[in-house]
Structure 1
């Protein structure tokens, strides 16, 4: 399970990192930097840790009825989208953050018991430097959705399609 998560997140899944360790790591980064780690709460698999304007925050990711979404208080849940996989969830909020930046606004995310978190996700924090091959795949995937139409060998198209995300 851990190896498949590492492959899926391509280096921004940090595994069994505690919230304190995540906070220490994210304190050294800029606002919007994020990572995925194992949740310390046994009811959840994963947690998104992100550097916000007020410091690092941790949002639990829940898996419910075959979909992933952020845990939130009941009133905010209907406003939050759910996704087939965690990368799509994170990618949605990255794109929302970029849209909000151009509109000089902030994207609303989950409401925890104490606060509303304005979620700004700009870049994943890699545990190790991704390969040049993977970085090129991300750039190509950002540039086109028509991978099959590119003048590339079938093997390369297959590689590009294995990770169709922009992060």
Structure 2
């Protein structure tokens, strides 16, 4: 959760109605993470799709995070040790040459199939310049310890080792 809170796109106790209102003003692929209103889940991904805002529950099972989905689709969806890793994975898939109709991008809920396209996080507030620089450096290299930087700066970069 500490990584998630550092993202700037974790909105906390936002309702699905509030998330829908906020995302209606954005472009397709814009997303945020919020607390789930369902007590069986910790978090929900809210994303603007081509048909409007959609909400996908994120489940925590056996120490890993993944999207809730019907049983037949679950084996096709990956699970991650960190929520930010989960979201980063699907952002990178959305940016790759694969289409939005790829099975790895389509969680299936009880009611519908969602073609998941994640392109841009919706920040609750403008991120600091330090945080934005950290993201750019982390996109550029995985070898943070080898950079000619002071130890404290390397520690800061490693506190949030993600690309978004």
| TM-score, L = length of structure 1 | 0.91
Secondary structure of the 1:133 match is helix
Conserved? CA contact 1:33–1:121, under 8 Å = yes
Q: Give aligned pairs, total.
A: 163
Conserved? CA contact 1:93–1:121, under 8 Å = yes
Paired with 2:99 and 2:67, the residues of 1 have a C-alpha distance of 24
Conserved? CA contact 1:6–1:12, under 8 Å = no
Cα distance, 1:35–1:154 mapped onto 2, change above 3 Å? same
Task: Spell out structure 1 runs of 4+ moving beyond 4 A.
Answer: 101-107
Q: 2:2 aligns with which of 6, 9, 20?
A: 6
Paired with 2:139 and 2:3, the residues of 1 have a C-alpha distance of 19
Give ranges in structure 2 of 5+ residues lacking alignment: none
Paired with 1:123 and 1:106, the residues of 2 have a C-alpha distance of 21
1:30-89 deviation per Cα after TM superposition (whole angstroms, max 9, x unaligned):
111000001010000000000011100000000000100000000000000000010000
Report the CA distance between 1:100 and its aligned residue.
3.7
Q: Which residue of 1 aligns with 2:102?
A: 105
Cα distance, 1:119–1:97 mapped onto 2, change above 3 Å? same
Report the CA distance between 1:107 and its aligned residue.
5.7
1 or 2, which has the higher strand percentage?
Answer: 1
Paired with 1:64 and 1:100, the residues of 2 have a C-alpha distance of 30
Cα distance, 1:7–1:65 mapped onto 2, change above 3 Å? closer
Written as runs of structure 1 = structure 2, the 5 A alignment for 1:17-96 is: 17-96=14-93
Give ranges in structure 1 of 5+ residues lacking alignment: none
1:90-135 deviation per Cα after TM superposition (whole angstroms, max 9, x unaligned):
0000000001468997962310122211111011101011100000
1:116-166 deviation per Cα after TM superposition (whole angstroms, max 9, x unaligned):
111110111010111000000000000111111111111101100110000
Cα distance, 1:78–1:95 mapped onto 2, change above 3 Å? same
Secondary structure of the 1:102 match is coil
Conserved? CA contact 2:4–2:83, under 8 Å = no
Conserved? CA contact 2:76–2:104, under 8 Å = no
